[in-house]
Amino acid sequence: MPDIIQLLPDSIANQIAAGEVVQRPASAAKELMENAIDAGATSLKLIVKESGKTLLQVIDDGMGMSETDARMSLERHATSKIRKAEDLFTIRTMGFRGEALASIAAVSQLEMKTRLGQQELGTLLMVEGSEVKKQEAIACEKGTSISVKNLFFNIPARRNFLKSNPVELRHIIEEFQHLALAHPNVAFMFIQGDEIVYDLLPGKLSQRIIALFGKSYQQQLAACQEETSLVKVTGYIGRPEAARKTRGEQFLFVNQRYIRNNYLAHAVSSAFEGLLQDNSFPFYVLFVEIDPKHIDINVHPTKTEIKFDDERAVYAVVRSAVKQALGTHNLVPALDFMGDVNMVNKLNSSQPLTKEQYYDEQFGNSLQRSSLSNWEKLFEGEETNSRLFSGSQREEKVSMRFESSMNNEQEAVSQEKTCFQLHHKYIVREVKSGLMIIDQQSAHERVLFEKYMLQLKGNPGSSQQSLFPQTITFSASDFALVMEMEHEIKTLGFRFEVFGKNAVLVSGIPTEAAGSEKELFEGLVEQFKRNQAELSLPLQENIAQSLAKRTAIKSGQKLLKEEMEAVVQGLFACRTLNFSPDGRPTFFIFDSSKIENHFTL
């Protein structure tokens, strides 16, 4: 039998490596910018055309490369950072695998210009699909400029898997933000087409945060710092009231390398315990400094995941640092000593406070406090008893009626159309087989989802114009997302237009929607991002589900009889009525036989 195992050609091996390292234009941008940082750049420029599909260029003023190094940098496993195995445990640089440039060159048309500071001439290299097409000496600036053109030109299948331009641009912006936050002492510039998206001057971390995310962050940042013999934690956290509904602005760095670590993310969220609304996530930019021998960063091709040899200790320090910052900056709510100091006198007065007066004075500005429901319970029994037994004061009579069998059929029909609400969460309705218990929020989400899907498929929704249009400013990545969804959002009934850099002017919202334009529009974007992170949905389904989630009746909301009937009738008209858009049951039927069993000896 002949031998069948053989070595792969370098071109194919490089394409396979590219599949791990270069997943999309953002991956290539990340690798090129990291190399520029490692080269000691004090200024870095990222130029992008068509979201990196046509051109992706990184220009830096770093140390540059000699002609030999420039050629060697395109070989697989060629690196200046590793000499022996032990070096893997002392890594403090960004790129070290020696696969980035070789992988990028394997799937693009790459042009490199580089010059060492002490040399008069630099080197030009032109590579196409791992094949060097041109190499010559040229006059160029000190540092390195690498242009990646027509990414995946030789792998059409991979190119077809790329998303739309706004989606790919958003991923590039995220990678740019990671590097810009990690190195505030380096000047960064980001140019998309002919537009300067970011022009960041070197400075402090707080200045870099404000430059990236806007001046609104200036008032919500709290410094965070904690140091032990094992680890040091520095950075900034956001105020609890500024928390958002999605995991979009949480940045964690270990030795200046951006990482994703659910365990440490939990350490931060647990420090905020009791200060955030449900499903809210605080803003934070935290840097963990630790001896490289205590971590392993070589566990993922993109180097975004690492392992700690003592993860619990790091968890404790991160949590402690955030807790201390919350306490130091008075972000933890204290007991309210600002209440009415004359309340005792009022309670002792000859005219006692009514329940409504007591609520107005004590809870007028905080009707959402959880303790309010407990105060309600104190009065519920009183009202019920007085209604039933105070015949002299109230002209209400309690009567009992025994029906004859003549009206049973007619009564059954009328009762079947009657609904009542249970605990402000469920709609209860009698059906032939027993009782139908409907989750009001899940059911309404299903009704709205199917309505919005019909609108997106060719039946545009109506809009209610705003008396006072509101301006909303987004981060660059969120603005790109809004532009990606512009047609679909307007089809659902929103009316808006671009109003300056990364801002829109909202002049109308869907007719059935309630709330302010700003709250609803921002909520739609946040919910879309959250769905995108947790689910894999087509664009239209994601938008319809996101808006349904934001505009649906909420659990705990009291409904009128007409509203309950509308939800029930709308649910029965749905094509898929058993489940909400995200898979939660909308109702269940409590069978009559089960009810009878409870009363059978």
Mean pLDDT on 429-450: 93
Q: Between 382 and 278, whose confidence is greater? A: 278
Mean pLDDT on 23-37: 92
Find all residues with CB under 8 Å of 24, minimum gap 6, and list them.
Answer: 52, 162, 163, 168, 171
pLDDT for 486 equals 93
CA torsion, ordered 178, 181, 184, 189, to nearest 10 deg: 50
Tokens found for residue 371: 């303790």
Give the model's confidence band at 502: pLDDT under 50 very low, under 70 low, under 90 confident, else very high: confident
User: By mean pLDDT, which of 126-135, 327-336, 379-388, 453-462 is the weakest?
Assistant: 379-388
pLDDT for 456 equals 94
- Range(s) of the chain covered by CATH 3.30.1370.100: 408-601
Report whether pLDDT(558) > 90.
yes
Cα 339 → chain centroid: 37
Report whether pLDDT(350) > 50.
no
Tell me the per-residue pLDDT of 381-429, one tens digit each, with 9 for 90 and over.
444 343 333 343 434 443 444 444 434 443 443 444 578 999 999 999 9
Average confidence score pLDDT of the chain: 81
pLDDT for 89 equals 54
What crossing angle do the helices spanning 205-213 and 165-182 adopt, rounded to 10°? 160
Q: Between 77 and 551, whose confidence is greater? A: 551
Tokens found for residue 142: 């000190």
Report whether pLDDT(562) > 70.
yes
Tell me the per-residue pLDDT of 131-172, one tens digit each, with 9 for 90 and over.
899 999 999 999 999 999 999 988 888 888 888 888 899 899
Tell me the per-residue pLDDT of 172-224, one tens digit each, with 9 for 90 and over.
999 999 999 999 999 999 999 888 999 999 999 999 999 998 887 888 899 99
Report whether pLDDT(57) > 60.
yes
Report whether pLDDT(300) > 80.
no
> Exposure pattern of 445-460 as b/e (b: 16+ CB <10 Å)?
bbbbbbbbbebbeeee
Instruction: Measure CA of the first residue to CA of the last residue in the chain; give whole Å.
Output: 80
Instruction: Tell me the one-letter amino acid at 380.
Output: E
pLDDT for 7 equals 73
Q: Does domain 10-203 have CATH number 3.40.50.620?
A: no
CATH topology of domain 213-328: Ribosomal Protein S5; domain 2 (3.30.230)
Element of type H or E holding 136: strand 131-138
Q: Are 31 and 176 in contact (CB under 8 A)?
A: no
Q: Are 147 and 110 in contact (CB under 8 A)?
A: yes
CATH topology of domain 408-601: Ribosomal Protein S8; Chain: A, domain 1 (3.30.1370)
- Range(s) of the chain covered by CATH 3.30.565.10: 10-203
Q: What is the CA radius of gyration of the chain?
A: 31
